[in-house]
Structure 1
Amino acid sequence: MSESGTAEWVNPLRDSRDRRLPRIAGPCALVIFGVTGDLARRKLMPAVYDLANRGLLPPGFALVGFARREWGDAEFGEVVHDAVRNHSRTPFREEVWQRLAEGIRFVQGSFDDDAAFAELAETLHKLDQERGTGGNHAFYLSVPPDAFPVVCGQLARSGLAAAQDDTWSRVVIEKPFGHDLQSARELNAVVGEVFSEDSVFRIDHYLGKETVQNILALRFANQLFDPIWNAHYVDHVQITMAEDIGLGGRAGYYDGIGAARDVIQNHLLQLLAFTAMEEPISFAPSELRAEKIKVLSATRLAEPLDETTARGQYTGGWQGGERVVGLLEEKGFAADSTTETYAAITLEVDTRRWAGVPFYLRTGKRLGRRVTEIAVVFKRAPHLPFDTTMTTDLGQNALVIRVQPDEGVTMRFGSKVPGSEMEVRDVNMDFSYGQAFTVSSPEAYERLLLDVLLGEPSLFPVDEEVELSWKILDPVLEHWAAKGRPEPYEAGSWGTASSEEMLRRSGREWRRP
Structure 2
Amino acid sequence: MHTDSSFTFVLFGGTGDLSMRKILPALYEAHRAGMLAASGKIVAIARHEEDRGHYLQWVNEHVKTHVSKSGVDEDAWSSFLDRIEYVKLDLGRAEDFVMLRDAMQDLPGTRVFYLATGPSLFVPICRALASVGLNENARIVLEKPLGYDLRSSNAINDAVGEIFAEEQIYRIDHYLGKEPVQNLLALRFGNALFEPLWRRDWVESIQITIAEELGVEARGDFYDNTGALRDMVQNHLLQLLSIVAMEPPHSMDSDSVRDEKLRVLRALKPVDPRDISKLAVRGQYHAGVIRGTSVPAYATEPGVKPDSTTETFVALKVEIENWRWAGVPFFLRTGKRLADRVAEIVVNFRPVPHSALGAPALRAGANRLVIRLQPNETIRLYCLAKKPGEGMNLSSVHLDLAFDQFFKEGQMEAYQRLLLDVINGRLALFVRRDEQEAAWKWVEPILNEWAASGKPKPYAAGTWGPAAASAMLAQHGTCWLEEEN
**Structure-2-length-normalised TM-score:** 0.95
- The match for 2:206 among 228, 234, 237 is 237
* Equivalent residue number for residue 158 of structure 2: 189
Question: Residue 293 of structure 1 aligns to a residue in which SS?
Answer: helix
* Equivalent residue number for residue 32 of structure 2: 53
Q: Cα deviation per residue 1:290-343 (whole Å; 9 max; x = unaligned)?
A: 111111111125662111110100111121011211111222211100110100
Question: Residue 219 of structure 1 aligns to a residue in which SS?
Answer: helix
| Alpha-carbon shift at residue 82 of structure 1 (Å) | 3.2
Question: Residue 230 of structure 1 aligns to a residue in which SS?
Answer: coil
Residues 269 and 319 in structure 2, CA contact (< 8 A), matched pair in contact too: yes
Q: Cα deviation per residue 1:265-299 (whole Å; 9 max; x = unaligned)?
A: 11111111110001111101111111111111111
Q: CA, structure 1 residues 347+393, in 2 after alignment: closer, same or farther (shift >3 Å)?
A: closer
Structure 2 distance, partners of 1:469, 1:241, is: 17
* Equivalent residue number for residue 120 of structure 1: 100
* Equivalent residue number for residue 331 of structure 2: 360
* Equivalent residue number for residue 330 of structure 1: 301
Residues 301 and 347 in structure 1, CA contact (< 8 A), matched pair in contact too: no
How many correspondences in the alignment? 480
2:293 pairs with 1:318: no
| Alpha-carbon shift at residue 96 of structure 1 (Å) | 3.0
* Equivalent position amino acid for 2:84 in 1: I
Structure 1 distance, partners of 2:249, 2:72, is: 40
* Equivalent residue number for residue 209 of structure 1: 178
Q: Cα deviation per residue 1:365-409 (whole Å; 9 max; x = unaligned)?
A: 111111000001011223442444x66977431111111111111
Alignment of 1:150-165 (within 5 A): 150-163=124-137
Structure 1, 265-274 or 240-249: larger mean CA deviation: 240-249
Structure 2 distance, partners of 1:248, 1:40, is: 17
2:18 pairs with 1:39: yes
Gaps of 5+ in 1: 1-21, 164-168
- The match for 1:178 among 121, 138, 147 is 147
* Equivalent position amino acid for 2:86 in 1: F
Residues 228 and 313 in structure 2, CA contact (< 8 A), matched pair in contact too: yes
* Equivalent residue number for residue 374 of structure 2: 404
* Equivalent residue number for residue 372 of structure 1: 343
Residues 368 and 381 in structure 2, CA contact (< 8 A), matched pair in contact too: yes
Structure 2 distance, partners of 1:384, 1:40, is: 55
Question: Residue 191 of structure 1 aligns to a residue in which SS?
Answer: helix
| Alpha-carbon shift at residue 245 of structure 1 (Å) | 1.3
* Equivalent residue number for residue 96 of structure 1: 76
Structure 1 distance, partners of 2:27, 2:363, is: 50
* Equivalent residue number for residue 146 of structure 1: 120
| Alpha-carbon shift at residue 490 of structure 1 (Å) | 1.0
Question: Residue 314 of structure 2 aligns to a residue in which SS?
Answer: strand
Structure 2 distance, partners of 1:271, 1:358, is: 15
Question: Residue 512 of structure 1 aligns to a residue in which SS?
Answer: helix
| Alpha-carbon shift at residue 108 of structure 1 (Å) | 1.5
* Equivalent residue number for residue 279 of structure 1: 248
Structure 1 distance, partners of 2:458, 2:222, is: 21
Structure 1 distance, partners of 2:176, 2:49, is: 35
* Equivalent position amino acid for 1:300 in 2: K
* Equivalent residue number for residue 7 of structure 1: none
* Equivalent residue number for residue 19 of structure 1: none
| Alpha-carbon shift at residue 221 of structure 1 (Å) | 0.7
Alignment of 1:378-417 (within 5 A): 378-388=349-359, 395-417=365-387
Aligned-residue RMSD, C-alpha: 1.7
* Equivalent position amino acid for 1:451 in 2: D
Alignment of 1:294-309 (within 5 A): 294-301=263-270, 304-309=275-280
* Structure showing greater Rg: 1
* Equivalent position amino acid for 1:334 in 2: K
Structure 1 distance, partners of 2:358, 2:436, is: 50
Residues 236 and 376 in structure 1, CA contact (< 8 A), matched pair in contact too: yes
Question: Residue 313 of structure 1 aligns to a residue in which SS?
Answer: strand
Residues 76 and 105 in structure 1, CA contact (< 8 A), matched pair in contact too: no
Gaps of 5+ in 2: none
Q: CA, structure 1 residues 391+229, in 2 after alignment: closer, same or farther (shift >3 Å)?
A: closer
Structure 2 distance, partners of 1:283, 1:258, is: 34
Residues 402 and 408 in structure 1, CA contact (< 8 A), matched pair in contact too: yes
Structure 1 distance, partners of 2:431, 2:148, is: 16
Alignment of 1:444-455 (within 5 A): 444-455=414-425
* Equivalent residue number for residue 348 of structure 1: 319
Question: Residue 269 of structure 2 aligns to a residue in which SS?
Answer: strand
Q: Cα deviation per residue 1:30-88 (whole Å; 9 max; x = unaligned)?
A: 11111111011111111111111111111121111111124212222222333442222
Alignment of 1:61-76 (within 5 A): 61-76=40-55
Identity %: 41
* Equivalent position amino acid for 2:102 in 1: E
Structure 2 distance, partners of 1:394, 1:159, is: 60
- The match for 1:443 among 390, 410, 413 is 413
Structure 2 distance, partners of 1:55, 1:502, is: 49
Structure 2 distance, partners of 1:93, 1:248, is: 31
**Structure-1-length-normalised TM-score:** 0.90
Residues 45 and 86 in structure 2, CA contact (< 8 A), matched pair in contact too: yes
Residues 316 and 324 in structure 1, CA contact (< 8 A), matched pair in contact too: yes
Question: Residue 323 of structure 2 aligns to a residue in which SS?
Answer: coil
* Equivalent position amino acid for 1:343 in 2: V
